[in-house]
Amino acid sequence: MVPVAFKNVTKQFSDTTVVVDLTFEITTGETVCVLGPNGAGKSTTFGLLLGALKPSSGTVAVFGNDPFDEPSVRSRLGALPDGFDVYPRLTGRQHVQYAARLNGDDRDPARLLDRVGLAAAIDKRAGKYSLGMKRRLGLALALSGDPDLLVLDEPSAGLDPVGSYMLRDIIREEQDRGTTILVASHNLEYIDDLCDRFIAILDGRVQFNDTVAALREQAGTGIRVSISVEACPDPFVERIATMTGVSNVKIDSSRIRIDCTPSAKPSVIAALDDSNVRFTDIDIEEQSTMSAFRQFLHEGTQ
Ligand SMILES: Nc1ncnc2c1ncn2[C@@H]1O[C@H](COP(=O)(O)OP(=O)(O)OP(=O)(O)O)[C@@H](O)[C@H]1O
């Protein structure tokens, strides 16, 4: 049974349709990132997945079960939901003890709190935690019981840079354990290379569902080749500018800057090799996932 299967899922709140005809699957051991601007429908999608919301139509299956009508399947899930909050009077240790009891996990709570960097605050009341500490505690609760599927909604919100790298380590450790991971984030810089696939949701619809290489390809750019030259070779520049996948060629006295898709990169390099251009340096830069995504949104919503 695949960990997650959405089939033609629509969700309406009174007269507002928030999620429209969503169809996608997440297979075992995949790490999938859900992207989308504010209000796109990401948290609603996660609410449907976690069984907190019932679809208006279509089916949601988690390990083959409906998470709303068959809540027992939720025991295989670990979730850090949007809007997670603590019980202010309970300590970090008491939170983890409570979750562990529900999960039948009798290991020492200090293990999980240490993993999320809260060892020093283990016996402090969570109401006194900072925003980032609360997020860390939420992450510890999501990890309790070694879930098969980890669902993280904006896990880096409020985390300092050290916390972001801790999150990255945790995702890597969970991947090594074989956990299937679904993460929604506006800040991808620290995990984009750990994601196998990206699902972009816009206005409640899946607009993109593929790898980051495909996202860059579809965004129309993705690679910037900068060539430092002794003199500007016009025929070479004219040839490059007409090549498929090349979106932009800029020249100043000593540098040619070429923006192209990943699949056009080999042809650009081959054209440089074939030419008599005397270059002193060449730099190939990959566009970040976020800027490819921004470009994708910009192009896709024109
Ligand atoms: N209970 C509700 N009743 C009515 N509208 C709702 C409800 N929950 C969410 N919405 C609306 O659904 C849309 C999608 O919200 P959602 O929280 O899923 O977006 P999101 O992609 O997670 O946004 P963000 O990135 O800001 O967290 C928004 O327009 C929101 O106002």
Tell me what pLDDT residue 252 has: 80
Backbone φ and ψ for 251, nearest 5 degrees, come out as: -130, 135
Per residue in 121-166, pLDDT (tens digit) is: 999 999 999 999 999 999 999 999 999 999 999 998 889 989 999 9
The reply to whether 46 and 191 lie within a common domain is: yes
CATH number, domain of 236, equals 3.30.70.100
Per residue in 62-101, pLDDT (tens digit) is: 999 999 999 888 889 999 998 899 999 999 999 999 999 8
Q: For 214, left (φ over 0), alpha (ψ -120 to 50), or beta? A: alpha
Q: Distance from the CA of 46 to the center of ligand 1, in angstroms?
A: 11
133 lies in a domain? yes
Given ligand 1 and candidates 6, 10, 16, which is best to mutate, with the most ligand atoms within 8 Å of its CB? 16
| For the chain, percent of residues with pLDDT exceeding 90 | 62
Give burial (CB, 10 Å; 0-12/13-18/19+) of 225: buried
pLDDT beyond 70 at 34: yes
pLDDT beyond 80 at 295: no
300 lies in a domain? no
- The set of protein residues with a Cβ atom below 6 angstroms from ligand 1 is 13, 16, 18, 36, 38-44, 82
Closest alpha carbon to 216 in 297, 301, 296:
296
Q: Which of 215, 239, 261 corresponds to the end of one domain?
A: 215
Q: Distance from the CA of 136 to the center of ligand 1, in angstroms?
A: 24
Tell me what pLDDT residue 220 has: 66
296 lies in a domain? no
What average pLDDT does this structure show over 257-273? 89
Closest alpha carbon to 207 in 135, 301, 73, 289:
301
The reply to whether 66 and 204 lie within a common domain is: yes
Place of tokens 């830069």: 285
Residues in Cβ contact with 223 at an 8 Å cutoff, skipping those fewer than 6 apart: 216, 259, 260, 261, 262, 264, 265, 284, 285, 286, 287
Given ligand 1 and candidates 10, 43, 82, 199, which is best to mutate, with the most ligand atoms within 8 Å of its CB? 43
What average pLDDT does this structure show over 18-32? 96
pLDDT beyond 80 at 272: yes
Please report the atom of ligand 1 found closest to the CA of residue 37: 25
Residues in Cβ contact with 49 at an 8 Å cutoff, skipping those fewer than 6 apart: 4, 6, 60, 62, 67, 151, 182
Q: Which of 165, 198, 215 corresponds to the end of one domain?
A: 215
- Per the CB < 8 A criterion, the answer to whether 82 and 43 are in contact is yes
Q: Distance from the CA of 198 to the center of ligand 1, in angstroms?
A: 20
Give Dmax (Cα) for the chain: 73
The reply to whether 167 and 24 lie within a common domain is: yes
Task: Supply the residue whose CA is at minimum distance from atom 5 of ligand 1.
Answer: 13
Q: Distance from the CA of 154 to the center of ligand 1, in angstroms?
A: 14
Tell me what pLDDT residue 302 has: 44
What average pLDDT does this structure show over 111-115? 95
Tokens of 29: 């051991």
Task: Supply the residue whose CA is at minimum distance from atom 13 of ligand 1.
Answer: 39
Tell me what pLDDT residue 299 has: 61
Backbone φ and ψ for 44, nearest 5 degrees, come out as: -65, -40
Please report the atom of ligand 1 found closest to the CA of residue 18: 12
Q: Which domain holds residue 236?
A: 223-286
The reply to whether 8 and 45 lie within a common domain is: yes
The reply to whether 259 and 199 lie within a common domain is: no
Given ligand 1 and candidates 15, 35, 44, which is best to mutate, with the most ligand atoms within 8 Å of its CB? 44
Tell me what pLDDT residue 221 has: 66
297 lies in a domain? no
C-alpha torsion sign, points 182, 161, 137, 41: negative
234 band by pLDDT with thresholds 50, 70 and 90: confident
pTM comes to: 0.83
The reply to whether 137 and 48 lie within a common domain is: yes
The reply to whether 46 and 167 lie within a common domain is: yes
162 lies in a domain? yes
Q: Which of 176, 195, 215 corresponds to the end of one domain?
A: 215
Given ligand 1 and candidates 6, 13, 38, which is best to mutate, with the most ligand atoms within 8 Å of its CB? 13
Q: What is the CA radius of gyration of the chain?
A: 23
Task: Supply the residue whose CA is at minimum distance from atom 24 of ligand 1.
Answer: 38
The reply to whether 143 and 261 lie within a common domain is: no
Q: Which long-range contacts (CB under 8 A, 24 or more apart) does 165-170 make?
A: 165/190, 166/116, 166/117, 166/136, 167/139, 167/191, 168/194, 170/115, 170/116, 170/139, 170/143
Specify the amino acid at residue 83: G
The reply to whether 172 and 227 lie within a common domain is: no
* Structural domain count, the chain: 2
Q: Distance from the CA of 153 to the center of ligand 1, in angstroms?
A: 13
The reply to whether 185 and 256 lie within a common domain is: no
245 lies in a domain? yes
**In whole numbers, what is the pLDDT of the chain averaged over residues?**
90
255 lies in a domain? yes
Task: Supply the residue whose CA is at minimum distance from atom 27 of ligand 1.
Answer: 38
The reply to whether 204 and 230 lie within a common domain is: no
CATH number, domain of 188, equals 3.40.50.300
15 band by pLDDT with thresholds 50, 70 and 90: confident
The reply to whether 69 and 198 lie within a common domain is: yes
Tell me what pLDDT residue 142 has: 96
134 lies in a domain? yes
pLDDT beyond 50 at 281: yes
Q: Distance from the CA of 20 to the center of ligand 1, in angstroms?
A: 13
